């Protein structure tokens, strides 16, 4: 499979398995099911809502509405107007999803802060001014939609792992910069 | 011999130099794909795999895997879409409620989830519970009073601003292509245009993350799209709509009608499968309980009457008019954003629009809450159990009927005040959506247009209902509306209004109706929905032929040849081809006789995407066509890899090397990059046919010959410019190749 399909595979399987595992490992806690009966006003009884943790077969007016506000023969008439719904939810899923989302958001924000604020400062301190100028230079091509490909092919000599990561990051930054120029500055794409 | 056989390397001993050149056959960013070539390469690949599969078990397994790989990709896309949809649903719910308050027992619960286990029993307190507190309550301990109101107001606006600031910064720093709804770009990509990086993982991640932020800061949900190949992308679009709206069949039809350029049966099957898997995944994740896949489920089944078609058609007209107004205003605003200084400050623009929207939205309870909730409430009929102001009808306390059969009642004061607020909300939404669609954060169009339509529909519905109640004796009502009977369902009018407005903006027809009845579960109401959709399309088409997505495509100058346009002018191919009279002659290569140096000079001096190859400059008989990018790569490769190729080497495209004296340097054979079957038309071919050919085959360029001699070339850009010129639009607005 191509690289795209592989990463798609990986990402989606991870997500799906994670969420599925939450479903199976969390026993259905009694908190997560309920039967909700809504009863409108009747004669001089006010409208009420009743919640109870009962299962589906017990989800009707007679089991849930306690204490019954009317007597004897009115019970049937009262119950006829009540609407009972069985609901269940998965609190574990909600918790995990929100926490995962917030952590991804937090990571992205930290990365953003690092990229925009800290990295130039660090670079300047470590490598001096000259390197900064060189990496900011628009490498030659003034053509609007240049491939970062050609630029990349020049510096293939490094083999160090850290340099590779650095490399990939530089290439990605250049691509984003191109995209940013097309979208925000020149308004060429995406109005 | 066809180029495909050449690529297989069938030939003589001299072909030992013909190893494949790297990167040949790929495309430059922002260029158009040549579909014929892609199709032949794909068929080639299939044939090679099929022939090899007979050799060994391993090859057989590989061929099976290849056949199944398409379905596996669909499966993965469905899984991914469903999962992402579940995540987005949950996160949006939570963040929207975060603007108003927080759940103390578990901060990750939204309002509804927080109060799930509460024991509040009276009607008045149904929305309150001790675990959920508004911000004012949390900070100062008060819930009522001017101070608390102002504090809530202030915090609401601040949260909205914070979310939108985060969204636009993330988009700006990580993935600028994540802006907007993306549907115009997807349509263009599907028609064969390359936008590198648009469908990348960063774009997906940022779109997902910021979509949540953007929705919770007031804007609306739309479908997600991701995929690489054309068919995969169509299927992904179907899966996206399927999970965004809980409408799998509608998703497939949406992909067919709106998004895809080329939709054969195979893509239909695949999209269907992907939508199915996505819906199944979302259902199994089940984020909300209730197994709630349907977004705006309506539970009533009251019939509608023929006389009600009149207000339905009126709603259709309203939808069409609103669609036209919206498209014109939005395009004008986007154009201004593109061309003037206003576009230089995207972050500021997003913050300003959010601020204004939040400030104006808070006082009106109908705009304060999320748009989906608003639509839900408008679609629902008023049983005895509804607590909203919209259902404040005067009830007869001695009524003994069961719940579902509430007869017509006069409106109480709550309904009148709700009507006023709804009217204000309508004006607000109409104005604000014009400015928000197209901003530099992910945003969509479905939910806002449905909201506008739902508000208008509900207002009309209540008006008709009250008219029926107070004037039972009028002729129109006499037949079907007896006193004491339930005749008018305002919720249905809201549904019809929503469909009309959505149809007016996007010009969808079949897919719109299917999405609407899948959204609501109201199968009885297909005919009113169809009536409204048809009316709104007619009215809107009377004013302008394009939907919002086509209009945005045109605004951005993408080279999108719409299959829906008709070309009825009587121009010929000679009128459109290049070179025109007075232009420099066509840049061609000869079959043999050009040197490497000449070719490089030609490439450097011109920026054409390809060059025709002729027999010789005198006879000008056409041999084939060679792409610029392939030439560059081949020459570069030859200079590096092959010895003896220097600037004076002769380039030849024939099978056998030309007879040259021995003192000449080694000639360079470039036959394998030559396309021997370029598409040609004669100079008297009517442009109608040429446009048809371009559309149906997905061509990128087409050569014009007369009596076998090459006259000129027509590219897709020329065709688009010509069509624009014929329709009196600016031909220079087509920017890409």
> In sequence order, what DSSP letters do the residues of A58-90 get, joined into one string?
G-SHHHH--S-SS-TTHHHHHHHH-EEEEEE--
Contact B289 A90 (CB under 8 A): yes
Residue B109 with chain A: CB contacts under 8 Å: 94
What's the pLDDT at B44? 73
Which H or E element spans position A110? helix A91-113
Q: What is the pLDDT of residues B75-116, one digit of tens each?
A: 887 888 888 888 887 888 888 888 888 888 888 888 878 877
Residue A84 with chain B: CB contacts under 8 Å: none
Contact A87 B555 (CB under 8 A): no
What's the pLDDT at B78? 84
What's the pLDDT at A137? 43
Range name among B182-186, B211-215, B492-496, B701-705 with the lowest pLDDT average: B211-215
Over 70: is that where the pLDDT of B483 sits? no
Contact B82, B71 (CB under 8 A): no
A161 CB-contact burial (10 Å; exposed 0-12 / middle 13-18 / buried 19+): exposed
The model's confidence at residue B4, banded by pLDDT at 50, 70 and 90, is very low
User: Would you give the DSSP letter of residue B668?
Assistant: E
The model's confidence at residue B210, banded by pLDDT at 50, 70 and 90, is low
What's the pLDDT at B60? 82
Range name among A63-72, B384-393, B649-658 with the lowest pLDDT average: B384-393
What's the pLDDT at A136? 43
Over 80: is that where the pLDDT of B513 sits? yes
Interface test with A, best of B26, B31, B83, B188 (most A CBs within 10 A): B83
What's the pLDDT at A10? 62
Contact B87 A100 (CB under 8 A): yes
Q: Which position has the higher pLDDT, B613 or B147?
A: B613
What's the pLDDT at A140? 39
Contact B83 A88 (CB under 8 A): no
Centroid of chain to Cα B95: 25
Residue B399 with chain A: CB contacts under 8 Å: none
Q: How high is the mean pLDDT of chain B?
A: 78
For residue B660, the distance in angstroms to the closest alpha carbon of chain A comes to 35
Q: Find the largest Cα–Cα distance for chain A.
A: 92
The parts of chain A modelled with pLDDT lower than 50 are 1-2, 25-28, 131-158
Centroid of chain to Cα B209: 19
For residue B113, the distance in angstroms to the closest alpha carbon of chain A comes to 9
What's the pLDDT at B130? 76
Sign of the CA dihedral with A94 first, then A98, A100, and A101 last: positive
What's the pLDDT at A135? 44
Averaged pLDDT, B120-126: 63
Q: What are the CA-CA distances from residue B412 to residues B391, B392, B396, B462, B501 (Å)?
A: 8, 5, 12, 12, 29
Q: Which chain A residue is nearest to residue B209, measuring alpha carbons?
A: A105
User: Would you give the DSSP letter of residue B9?
Assistant: T
What's the pLDDT at A186? 66
Single out the residue of B293, B317, B310 nearest to residue B244, CA to CA: B293
Residue B116 with chain A: CB contacts under 8 Å: 34, 89
Which H or E element spans position B610? strand B610-614
Averaged pLDDT, B690-713: 86
Single out the residue of A56, A53, A57 nearest to residue A32, CA to CA: A53
What's the pLDDT at B539? 94
Residue B121 with chain A: CB contacts under 8 Å: 48-51
B341 near A CB under 8 A: no
Contact residues, B window 585-644, toward A, CB-based 8 Å cutoff? none
Backbone angles phi, psi at B351, to 5 degrees: -65, -40
What's the pLDDT at B320? 95
The model's confidence at residue B643, banded by pLDDT at 50, 70 and 90, is confident
Single out the residue of B29, B38, B1 nearest to residue B699, CA to CA: B38
Contact A97 B397 (CB under 8 A): no
Among A20-24, A68-72, B674-678, B723-727, top mean pLDDT goes to: B674-678
Q: Which chain A residue is nearest to residue B94, measuring alpha carbons?
A: A98
Averaged pLDDT, B115-119: 72
Whole-complex ipTM? 0.72
Contact residues, B window 52-81, toward A, CB-based 8 Å cutoff? 69, 73, 76-77, 79-80
Residue B205 with chain A: CB contacts under 8 Å: 104, 108
Contact B185, A190 (CB under 8 A): yes
Closest Cβ–Cβ partner in B109, B173, B337 for A191: B337
């Amino acid at each position: 499979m191509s690289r795209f399909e592989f990463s798609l595979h990986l990402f989606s399987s991870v997500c799906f398995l994670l969420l599925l595992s939450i479903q199976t490992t969390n026993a259905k806690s009694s908190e997560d099911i309920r039967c909700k009966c809504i009863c409108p006003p009747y004669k001089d009884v006010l409208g009420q809502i009743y919640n109870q943790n009962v299962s589906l077969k017990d989800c009707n007016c007679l089991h849930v509405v306690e204490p019954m506000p009317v007597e004897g023969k009115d019970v049937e008439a009262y119950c006829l107007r009540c609407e009972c719904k069985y609901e269940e939810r998965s609190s574990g899923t909600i918790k995990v999803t929100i926490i995962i989302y917030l952590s991804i958001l937090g990571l992205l924000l930290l990365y953003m802060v690092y990229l925009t604020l800290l990295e130039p400062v660090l670079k300047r301190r470590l490598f001096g001014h000259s390197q900064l100028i060189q990496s900011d230079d628009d490498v030659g091509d003034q053509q609007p939609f240049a491939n970062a490909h050609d630029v990349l092919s020049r510096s293939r000599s490094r083999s160090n792992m850290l340099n590779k990561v650095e490399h990939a990051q530089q290439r990605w930054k250049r691509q984003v910069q191109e995209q940013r120029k097309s979208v925000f500055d020149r308004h060429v794409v995406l109005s | 011999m066809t180029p495909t056989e050449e690529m297989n390397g069938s030939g003589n001993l001299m072909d030992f130099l013909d190893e494949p050149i790297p990167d040949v056959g790929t495309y430059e960013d922002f260029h158009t794909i040549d579909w014929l070539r892609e199709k032949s390469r794909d068929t080639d690949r299939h044939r090679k795999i099929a022939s090899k599969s007979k050799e060994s078990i391993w090859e057989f397994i590989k061929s099976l895997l290849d056949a199944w790989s398409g379905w596996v990709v669909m499966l993965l896309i469905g899984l991914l879409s469903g999962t992402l949809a579940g995540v987005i649903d949950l996160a949006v719910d939570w963040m929207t409620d975060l603007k108003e308050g927080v759940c103390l027992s578990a901060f990750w619960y939204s309002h509804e989830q927080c109060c799930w286990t509460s024991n509040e029993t009276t009607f008045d307190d149904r929305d309150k519970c001790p675990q959920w507190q508004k911000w004012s309550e949390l900070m100062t301990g008060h819930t009522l009073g001017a101070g608390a109101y102002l504090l809530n107001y202030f915090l609401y606006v601040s949260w909205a601003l914070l979310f939108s600031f985060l969204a636009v910064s993330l988009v700006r720093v990580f993935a600028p292509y994540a802006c907007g709804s993306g549907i115009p770009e997807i349509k263009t990509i599907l028609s064969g245009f390359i936008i590198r990086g648009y469908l990348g993982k960063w774009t997906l991640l940022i779109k997902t993350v910021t979509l949540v932020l953007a929705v919770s800061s007031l804007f609306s949900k739309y479908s997600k799209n991701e995929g690489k190949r054309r068919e995969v992308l169509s299927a992904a679009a179907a899966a996206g709509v399927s999970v965004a709206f809980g409408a799998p069949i509608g998703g497939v039809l949406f992909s067919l009608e709106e998004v895809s350029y080329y939709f054969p049966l195979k893509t239909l099957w695949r999209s269907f499968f992907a939508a199915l898997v996505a819906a199944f995944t979302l259902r199994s994740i089940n984020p909300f309980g209730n197994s709630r896949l349907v977004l705006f489920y309506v539970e009533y089944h009251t019939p509608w009457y023929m006389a009600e078609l009149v207000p339905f058609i009126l709603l259709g007209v309203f939808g069409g008019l609103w669609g036209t107004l919206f498209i014109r205003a939005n395009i004008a605003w986007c154009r201004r954003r593109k061309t003037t200084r206003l576009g230089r400050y995207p972050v500021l623009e997003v913050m300003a629009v959010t601020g204004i929207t939040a400030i104006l939205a808070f006082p009106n309870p109908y705009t304060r809450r999320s748009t989906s909730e608003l639509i839900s409430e408008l679609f629902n009929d008023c049983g005895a159990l509804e607590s909203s102001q919209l259902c404040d009808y005067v009830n007869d306390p001695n009524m003994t009927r069961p719940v579902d059969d509430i007869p017509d009642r006069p409106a109480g004061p709550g309904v009148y005040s709700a009507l006023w607020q709804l009217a204000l909300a309508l004006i607000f939404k109409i104005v604000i959506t014009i400015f928000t669609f197209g901003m530099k954060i992910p945003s969509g169009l479905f939910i806002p247009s449905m909201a506008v339509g739902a508000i208008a529909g509900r207002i009309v519905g209540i008006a008709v209902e009250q008219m029926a109640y107070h004037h039972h004796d009028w002729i129109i009502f006499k037949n079907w509306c007896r006193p004491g009977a339930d005749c008018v369902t305002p919720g249905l009018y809201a549904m019809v209004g929503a469909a009309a407005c959505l149809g007016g903006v996007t010009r969808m027809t079949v897919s719109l109706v299917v999405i609407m009845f899948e959204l609501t579960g109201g199968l009885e109401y297909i005919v009113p929905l169809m009536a409204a959709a048809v009316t709104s399309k007619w009215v809107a088409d009377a004013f302008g032929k394009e939907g919002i997505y086509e209009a945005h495509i045109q605004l951005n100058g993408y080279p999108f040849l719409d299959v829906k346009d008709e070309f009825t002018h009587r121009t010929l191919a000679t009128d459109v081809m290049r070179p025109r009279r007075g232009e420099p002659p066509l840049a061609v290569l000869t079959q043999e006789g050009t040197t490497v140096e000449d070719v490089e000079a030609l490439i450097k001096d011109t920026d054409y995407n390809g060059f025709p190859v002729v027999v010789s400059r005198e006879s000008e008989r056409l041999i084939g066509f060679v792409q610029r990018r392939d030439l560059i790569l081949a020459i570069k490769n030859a200079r590096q890899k092959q010895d003896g190729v220097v600037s004076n080497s002769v380039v030849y495209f024939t099978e056998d090397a030309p007879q040259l004296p021995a003192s000449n340097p080694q000639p360079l054979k470039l036959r394998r990059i030559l396309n021997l079957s370029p598409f040609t038309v004669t100079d008297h071919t009517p442009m109608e046919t040429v446009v048809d050919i371009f559309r149906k085959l997905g061509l990128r360029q087409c050569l014009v010959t007369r009596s076998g001699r090459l006259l000129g070339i027509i590219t897709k850009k020329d065709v688009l410019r010509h069509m624009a010129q014929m329709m009196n639009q600016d031909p220079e607005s087509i920017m890409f190749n």
